[in-house]
Structures are given as C-alpha cells and as structure tokens.
Amino acid sequence: MLTHRQLFFQHVAQTSEKPLALEIERAEGIYLYDVKGNSYIDLISGISVSNTGHCHPAVVNAIKEQIEKYMHLMVYGEYIQSPQVILAKILSKILPSSLNCTYFVNSGTEATEGALKLAKKYTGRSEIIAFKNAYHGSTHGSLSVMGNEYYKQAFRPLLPDVRFIEFNNQDDLKYISKKTACVIAETIQGEAGVIIPDVQFMKDLRCKCSDNSALLILDEVQTGLGRTGKMFGFENYGIVPDIITLAKGFGGGMPLGAFISSKKIMHCLTNNPVLGHITTFGGHPVSCAAAIANIEVIQKEKLVEQVKKKEKLFHKYLKHPSIKSIRSKGLLIAIEFENEKINMKIIHKCIDKGVIVDWFMFAPNCMRIAPPLIISDDEIKNACEVIISCM
C-alpha cells in the first residue's frame, strides 16, 4: 500500500519541485495538527484566508445548516438563493454606498477576470493599466496584469493593451488617458512583499481615473476582511474605487470570490451579449452561508479593531540583528532578510519548530507573516520567540 505522501507525489499535480508536504489531520483556530501528532501555529492563514481562524464554530454551523437545506441548485444568477441575497446586502452595508452590487465568483483570479471584463464593457475601451510587482491571479487575464516577467514569460501571448506603471511614481499617472478602460491595483502589494503606496499617490490615482472616466479597480483579495486594520484596504487611503475584488478570507475557509461595483456599472453585463459573464458555481450557497457567518464573527469579536495592537506586538517581539527591515500594514507583515538563502533557512527551521511562515513570490528574501486575526497576544509572543530562535 502506498502512503498518502507517495500518492500525493504520484497523482496530485504539483506546483513546484518542493511542496511543503505536511499531512494535516485537522485544524482549529490558529493551529494545524498533522498525522504524526505535531501541532503548528499557522502564521500565514493558508495565505491570508483563515482570518477568523480555522473551523470557527460559527462558520462550521452555518455550513452545516446550509448543507441540510440545499447545495448547488442552478448556475449563478438565475435563482434567488437566500445566502447570496443576504451576503450581498451585508456587503452593501459595510461598503461605501456606490459599491452596492455584487457579482459572486469562486476565487480571486476569477474576480480579477470579471472586473477587467466589466471595465472593458462599461467603458468600451481596451487599455488596462496595472502596476509593476502586482499579483492578481494565475489565469490568462490576471497573468496579463501581473507585474512580474519571470512568472509570465512562458505563457505568452497574453492580453494586448496592458501598460505597467509604478507605485508612488506620480509621473507615471500621465499614462492614464481617455483610452484607458481601467487601472487595477492592490491596495497593498502582497506578493511583492508588502509594498504600501502613499496616501497621496492613491488619492491622485483616484482623481486621474475620474478625470479620464477610467474605472479604478482595487484588488482586496489579500487585504480585505480586516487584514490591514480596516475592513477593506482602500479605507486606509480615504478613496472609493469603482470596482473591488474579494476572495481568500471572504469565505471563512470556503471558496468564494466577488467583484463588486455600482448597480449602474454592473448592469452592463446583463445585455449585448446576454450572459456575457457567467459561472456555474459562483456564489455557491454553502460558501455564501459561511461568508455571512465569517463577517458576523469579524464584527462580533471586534477583530478589525484589534489588528493594529497585534501588529505592534509583532514589531515589539521581532527584534534581531539579522532582520534588515519589517514592512507591515496591520497583520500583513514582511520581514526582510539579507537574501533568499537566509530567509528560506529560517522559514524551514520555523516550520520544523511548529510555526508556519512563508516567503513572497516576488520577494523571496522576505518572510511572510499573516496570522489569523483571532491570534491572541500570548500566541503572538510565543510564535515570535520561535521565529527569533531560528535566526
């Protein structure tokens, strides 16, 4: 009999030569438990997903209740499904009034694809402006707006008419013109290793888009649902985008994504052509039920309000001569080391000692820390002590 480990390498498609290959039996709160009886602190939330922790009882209950009623009924958009309707209403309540219409999908990259199509259809323009070092997903449209050549080169040709500009480069804003359908940006660049734009740059970007009737799409896939110390990352800049995308932490551990805009903009997807953007499983009722409970937990447990204090604790406890710098916005944290080799060595030591940390795709010399927002002060202290002991 082959072990699960052997079967994993033989039959499950691999994304790299060296997957972590931990075999997890169960997960609860900030902890993962493997089949050998080891426990791990998940300090990356399965990459910014488990904001309310793994298997939060309220989320699990909501899933169970919905499964008893119905799972998939029909392709997205045809039937009135109460979990979708209630979730869409909650979103319109917690977002600025212009972001009042939600198109549900399954993942972050699908949300990107939908948002780009929406902007092209609404403006009748084709030019897309994206940012150097941006990550918006792995499908063809998302790859076209990825600001990193290494990960794109093997998959060309990609979308035409895409131009790249730089965070905080005021001069680059001149490229936004009446030909521009949209500008797409993360509110904080995640895979680039937590790169935070200036407030004034984001305000100017917003103005420049408005002046040219180009839509501003802000990607909240990694920053949404409290991670940065605000419910949505864009709230850090005092601006309102035309479209946002959500996924990852949105479903409370279930697969769910969305692109959200105004009723007026979103309406253009309903005709000419009819069914111009469709999805079978988008807004799955079980995922939506989980997402409702997830938002309720974030609100009831006042998780967003505690993020800044917890961020400060990481800064307090993570002091070591090997650390070159720490960049953070809330609980999205990058610890910079001299080079990739040192970082990888420390990461693997941490995992061996039961603290799961990671690197960033475009910043392999930086350690990723993005814990569940429910992590306690003591757990932060313990986890940081382990990390320091690995340097």
Give the residues lining the site for ligand PMP (CB under 6 A).
47, 107-109, 112, 135-137, 186, 190-191, 219, 221-222, 247
The DSSP symbol for 175 reads G
Task: Kindly state the smallest distance separating residue 191's Cβ from ligand PMP, in Å.
Answer: 6
Task: Kindly state the smallest distance separating residue 255's Cβ from ligand PMP, in Å.
Answer: 8
Residue nearest to ligand PMP (CB): 108
Omega before residue 255 within 30° of 0, cis:
no
Nearer to ligand PMP, 83 or 137 (CB): 137
Report how far apart, in Å, the C-alpha atoms of 11 and of each of 18, 29, 54, 237 are: 15, 30, 27, 46
The answer to whether the Cα torsion of 164, 170, 174, 179 is positive or negative is positive
Nearer to ligand PMP, 150 or 171 (CB): 150
**Pair 353, 386: CB distance under 8 Å:** yes
What residue type is assigned to position 383 of the chain?
A
The whole-angstrom separation of Cα 127 and Cα 329 is 31
Nearer to ligand PMP, 116 or 313 (CB): 116
Task: Kindly state the smallest distance separating residue 348's Cβ from ligand PMP, in Å.
Answer: 21
Nearer to ligand PMP, 223 or 379 (CB): 223
| Edge-first strand listing for the sheet containing 31-34 | 24-28, 31-34, 39-42, 355-356
**Pair 366, 334: CB distance under 8 Å:** yes
Nearer to ligand PMP, 123 or 245 (CB): 245
**Pair 330, 227: CB distance under 8 Å:** yes
**Pair 276, 269: CB distance under 8 Å:** yes
Name 26's bridge partners: 33
Task: Kindly state the smallest distance separating residue 219's Cβ from ligand PMP, in Å.
Answer: 5
Nearer to ligand PMP, 191 or 358 (CB): 191
The whole-angstrom separation of Cα 99 and Cα 79 is 22
Nearer to ligand PMP, 251 or 379 (CB): 251
**Residue the block writes with tokens 């030019």:** 127
The whole-angstrom separation of Cα 11 and Cα 7 is 6
Nearer to ligand PMP, 44 or 384 (CB): 44
The separation between CA 359 and the C-alpha centre of its own chain, rounded to angstroms, equals 15
Task: Kindly state the smallest distance separating residue 248's Cβ from ligand PMP, in Å.
Answer: 6
Nearer to ligand PMP, 132 or 313 (CB): 132
Name 101's bridge partners: 261
What residue type is assigned to position 112 of the chain?
T
Task: Kindly state the smallest distance separating residue 49's Cβ from ligand PMP, in Å.
Answer: 9
What residue type is assigned to position 75 of the chain?
V
Nearer to ligand PMP, 16 or 97 (CB): 16
61: tokens are 């209950």
Task: Kindly state the smallest distance separating residue 282's Cβ from ligand PMP, in Å.
Answer: 13
**Pair 202, 239: CB distance under 8 Å:** yes
Task: Kindly state the smallest distance separating residue 124's Cβ from ligand PMP, in Å.
Answer: 26
The whole-angstrom separation of Cα 49 and Cα 120 is 29
Task: Kindly state the smallest distance separating residue 110's Cβ from ligand PMP, in Å.
Answer: 7
Task: Kindly state the smallest distance separating residue 119's Cβ from ligand PMP, in Å.
Answer: 16
